[in-house]
Amino acid sequence: MIWIVVGCRHGGAELAMREKLSFSEEQTSDALAELKRRWPELEAVILSTCNRVEIYAAMEIFHSEEWSGSFPKSAAMGAEALVDFLAEWHHLERSDVSAACFRKMGHDAMEHLFRVAASLDSMVVGEAQIAGQVRAAYQLAVDCDSVGPLLHAAFQRAGSTAKKVTTETRLHQYRTSIPSVAVGGFAKQIFEHLDRKNTLVIGAGDMAEETLLYLREEGVKNISVANRHVERAAALAEKFHGTVCPWEELDAAIVRADLIVSATGATQPVVTRERYKKLEGKRNYRPLFVLDLAVPRDFEAEIGSLPNVYLYTVDDLRTVCEENAAARAADLPKAEAVVSRELATFVTDIRHHKSGRVIQALRDRWNREKNVELERLFHKMTSLTDHDRGEISYAFDRLLNKLLHLPMESLRDEAGENPAGQRGLLDAMRKLFGL
């Protein structure tokens, strides 16, 4: 069997490269169809999110010496073929894509899938969105008919493992970044439905962008971006399908806003208490949630004391983040143990499946020989009754099962304890019995 995952992820590839390698849903369907056209024997799933782009592939080679397929029978060569595919599909230099991509094969590839699904490989460990993204990527591949028994088994077990991490640990309960705490811990307590609220972003830096990622996951749609440099505002607005608010129209945007994320590099407050007081009446005193992520602050502290204004600064959120991080760290070993346990069970099951194929082939061969001998025997002994024939057939079946018992036990033991030994036994059985 060949297991491969190739791709790029946060921490290993720059955002610019991840963007170039990303797939829309339509592109994913087309790419899966092309993979199937090129390599019909290959199973494939493409996972494309803001933090990772990965191709998971698997293929069963029953006997590599007889392999006549089009995909390389070596996992290492197969990984390079998938890197070539990524570069060709996105019209990028192969060397650039190769440098940005990681390759994992065999057990490491399966472990990576389980860790990704369980959110142990996420930028923010324990974030809940990735499990749904993995599930959606798998379902799209199912719809495109690009998965078979190997990836079906792997993704279904990875999904159940993610659920066990959720139910057996508290890893997903803790938000540890300032934007995630602000959105998940505070904004959702103030506004029941974030998707209906107008969001204004003041500034266009990394912190503002990360906060928008969490807001988008909560369904926020109406986004305006204001920045002194209109080009940066336009770039951020385009990424989140928002609109640009000219800097000189900031007051009008504040009036319309329900939720403000502010993270500029200004040295003085952008919005003073006096400036906001002039806008209160125009807002009809509607609730306003302000996440001031700037240092120095963009909103004067006194604004937070005004009616219906919920103003949170970095310092307000940092304590919650630190408490959550400590609690998550305590739960992380439990989550790792769940993944390790489920992965070990899955790998053993896969090895049993592999040995089962050989045992079945041996059983089929011996059954054919048994049937030939029974037919010869019954042809000569015409005086046998139906009962006699049944007893003789039953005795032959018992003998066959006894002969198969020891090979089955040996392969089962090696599957759990010594994979290399299992491979040796499988090869020996193929050669000895001409399977």
Distance CA 136, CA 47 (A): 9
Residues in a beta bridge with 288: 309
Half-sphere CA count of 277, side-chain side, radius 13 A = 7
Residue 40 DSSP SS3: coil
Q: Is 41 exposed, middle or buried (0-12, 13-18, 19+ CB in 10 A)?
A: middle
Query: Radius of gyration (Cα) for the chain, nearest Å?
Result: 30
The token pair at 223 is: 């986004």
Q: Is the Cβ–Cβ distance between 7 and 54 less than 8 Å?
A: yes
Structure tokens at 89: 């599909």
34: CB partners within 8 A, 6+ apart = 85, 89
What burial letters (b/e) apply to 178-203, b meaning 16+ CB within 10 Å? bbbbbbbebbeeebeebeebbbbbbb
* Sign, Cα dihedral of 278, 281, 283, 289: positive
Rounded Cα–Cα distance for residues 429 and 365 (Å)? 12
Q: Is the bond preceding 296 in cis, omega lying within 30 degrees of 0?
A: yes
Q: Could you count the other beta carbons within 10 Å of the beta carbon of residue 110?
A: 23
Q: How many CB atoms lie within 10 A of CB 4?
A: 27
DSSP helix/strand/coil, 47: strand
**Amino acid identity, residue 343?**
L
- Distance set, CA 343 to CA 19, 58, 87, 273, 325 (Å): 31, 16, 31, 56, 26
Just list the catalytic residues.
50
H/E segment holding residue 219 = none
